[in-house]
């Protein structure tokens, strides 16, 4: 099962980079968006992942106040965008290959 988790986590990281590249997004909204894509992620998994990605220089965050609440919004950094762009051809090719029946 650890191998499956590794694949899932890799896909999750790419989705986080993708969504954070579209517009700044806070954790709860990101969790909802990921759930629509089949990634049911608990806050105990998502927030440490966001923190590690930020420490790796893939995301940056800013805290804003909204309706009396403080929200930390995440955005993909230039480094994160370059990584996402580098992964796109590989993911596209993989998707094409997986669409082919396995012999």
Q: Where are the beta strands (DSSP E) in the chain?
A: 25-26, 59-66, 69-76
Cβ atoms of 27 and 44 closer than 8 Å: no
pLDDT tens sequence across 32-46: 999 998 888 899 999
pLDDT tens sequence across 10-61: 889 999 999 999 999 999 999 999 999 888 889 999 999 999 999 999 999 9
pTM score: 0.84
Identify the three-state secondary structure at position 23: coil
* Beta carbons within 8 Å of 43's beta carbon, 6+ residues apart: 27, 31
* Amino acid 92: pLDDT: 85
pLDDT over 60 (residue 1): no
pLDDT tens sequence across 79-89: 999 999 999 98
Cβ atoms of 27 and 43 closer than 8 Å: yes
* Amino acid 75: pLDDT: 97
């Amino acid at each position: 099962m650890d191998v499956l988790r590794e694949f899932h986590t890799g896909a999750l990281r790419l989705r986080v980079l993708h969504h954070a590249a579209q517009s700044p997004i806070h954790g709860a909204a990101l969790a909802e968006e990921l759930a629509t894509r089949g990634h049911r992620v608990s806050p105990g998994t998502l927030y440490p992942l966001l923190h590690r990605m930020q420490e790796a220089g893939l995301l940056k965050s800013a805290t804003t106040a909204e309706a009396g609440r403080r929200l930390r919004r995440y955005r993909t950094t230039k480094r994160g965008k370059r990584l996402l762009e580098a992964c796109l051809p590989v993911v596209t090719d993989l998707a094409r290959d997986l669409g082919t029946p396995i012999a």
